[in-house]
């Protein structure tokens, strides 16, 4: 153990000793890891923007003592103490907030971060959501962790009602071939394990890259064009990133999507995160893929 980690460990043990009562209980995170907690967490650091959104939706934000630089929704989350980026947040900043739980993901944060947190005695609960059922399960899990079960149930029920309404609205129509572009250069698209792939299906489309085993594989432009997409969805990535450039795609005039004027910009924050707003993203997708169903 390095001197830096030893110092942080000593601080953590001293701080956490005043927070944890003697009795503890064990829960299981979304990766199947056992996580031992002294009591329902009262001081949570979220390293996942989706988790931050869910905690606010559950009215559990009073337990949220720290967030990443990317936790920007709801707007109130921006005023919470920051611990740095998702990939490599500051260990010292996290420990200084005296959390009794850190919620992280192994798909956005370096393993070394939550390994060191566990080493200094800070429990880490790992989350992942590749499908809609994972997202709603996470909402229920966070409801249980924060003693907000009574809020989680109705929240999930409302979201499931909206999902069902979209499914019914697009059911009478065909399934156009959809190319979803997460990132233009290099070209990154959703594969089998990306939640947006399921959202495209629920919205009445057929994702052309759904069979790829990776969650977000790289694709060649030639391979994408060869699939003759009928709808092309270009993801925007929040404020400050600029408008999506359509020019490269508009040059591909022979593509069915371009001929039909089905080159559409979508809000990536609604579709890549798995907080409650993913249903907003689903509704936007359905209107983009099947505008005739919502006239």
Helix (H) or strand (E) holding 28: strand 25-28
- Closest by alpha carbon to 81, among 91, 93, 92? 93
Inter-CA distances, 111 with 12, 31, 104, 119, Å: 19, 13, 10, 12
Can you say how many angstroms the Cα of residue 34 is from the centroid of all Cα atoms in its chain? Answer: 22
Residue 10: partners with Cβ closer than 8 Å, 6 or more residues away? none
The candidate with the shortest Cα–Cα distance to 152, out of 26, 276, 41, 278, is: 276
* CA 82/CA 276 separation, integer angstroms: 22
Q: What's the pLDDT score for residue 6?
A: 53
Whole-angstrom distance, CA of residue 106 vs CA of residue 83: 17
The strand pairing partners of 231, in sequence order, are: 178
CATH of the domain at 185: 3.40.50.1980
Mean pLDDT in residue range 171-191? 93
Q: Is the dihedral of CA 249, 250, 255, 257 positive or negative?
A: positive
In a shared domain, residues 121 and 204 = no
How far apart are the C-alpha atoms of 62 and 40, rounded to whole Å? 13
pTM above 0.85, yes or no: yes
Domain count, the chain: 2
Is 133 part of any domain?
A: no
Residue 112 lies in a domain: yes
What does each C-alpha distance from 41 to 26, 73, 89, 117 come to in angstroms? 12, 22, 20, 16
**Neighbour count for residue 175 (Cβ, 10 Å):** 16
Q: Are 144 and 49 in contact (CB under 8 A)?
A: no
Asked whether the beta carbons of 286 and 166 are under 8 A apart, the reply is yes
pLDDT single digits (tens) 135-144: 999 999 999 9
Q: Say whether both 207 and 274 belong to one domain.
A: yes
Decide if 163 is inside a domain.
Answer: no
pLDDT digits (tens, 9 = 90+) for 204-244: 999 999 998 888 999 998 998 899 999 999 998 765 555 56
Tell me which of 94, 128, 162 is where a domain ends.
Answer: 128
d(CA 267, CA 216): 17
φ, ψ of residue 182 in degrees (nearest 5):
-70, -45
User: Using one digit for the tens of pLDDT, what is the confidence trace for 116-150?
Assistant: 898 888 999 999 999 999 999 999 999 999 999 99
Same domain, 120 and 178: no
Q: How many CB atoms neighbour CB 272 within 10 A?
A: 21
Q: What is the pLDDT of residues 236-262, one digit of tens each?
A: 876 555 556 777 888 888 899 999 999
| 46's tokens | 């979220």
Last-in-domain residue among 128, 149, 183? 128
Q: Over the stretch 24-49, which tens digit does the pLDDT of each residue have? A: 789 999 999 999 998 889 999 999 99
* Burial annotation 258-268 (CB, 10 A radius, 16+ → b, else e): beeebbbebeb
Range of the domain at 197: 174-294
Same domain? 88 vs 198:
no
């Amino acid at each position: 153990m390095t001197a830096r980690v030893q110092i942080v460990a000593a601080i953590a043990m001293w701080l956490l000793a005043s927070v944890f009562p003697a009795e503890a209980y064990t829960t299981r995170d979304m990766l199947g890891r056992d996580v031992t907690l002294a009591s329902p967490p009262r001081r949570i650091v979220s390293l996942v923007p989706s988790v931050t959104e869910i905690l606010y939706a559950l009215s559990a934000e009073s337990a949220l003592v720290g967030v990443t630089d990317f936790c920007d929704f709801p707007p109130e989350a921006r005023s919470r103490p920051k611990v740095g980026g998702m990939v490599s947040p500051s260990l010292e900043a996290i420990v200084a907030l005296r959390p009794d739980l850190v919620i992280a993901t192994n798909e956005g944060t370096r393993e070394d971060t939550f390994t060191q947190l566990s080493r200094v005695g800070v429990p880490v609960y790992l989350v992942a959501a590749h499908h809609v059922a994972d997202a709603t399960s996470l909402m229920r899990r966070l409801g249980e962790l924060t003693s907000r079960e009574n809020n989680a149930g109705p929240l999930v029920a409302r979201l499931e009602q909206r999902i069902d309404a979209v499914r019914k609205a697009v059911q009478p129509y065909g399934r156009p071939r959809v190319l979803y572009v997460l990132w233009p250069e290099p070209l990154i698209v959703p594969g089998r394990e990306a939640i947006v792939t399921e959202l495209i299906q629920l919205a009445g489309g057929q994702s052309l890259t759904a069979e790829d085993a990776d969650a977000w594989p790289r694709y060649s432009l030639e391979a994408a064009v060869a699939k003759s997409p009928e709808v092309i969805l270009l993801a925007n990535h929040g404020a400050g990133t600029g408008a999506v450039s359509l020019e490269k795609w508009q040059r591909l005039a022979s593509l069915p999507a371009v001929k039909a004027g089905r080159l559409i910009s979508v809000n990536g924050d609604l579709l890549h995160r798995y907080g409650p707003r993913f249903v907003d993203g689903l509704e936007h997708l359905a209107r983009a893929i099947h505008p005739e169903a919502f006239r």
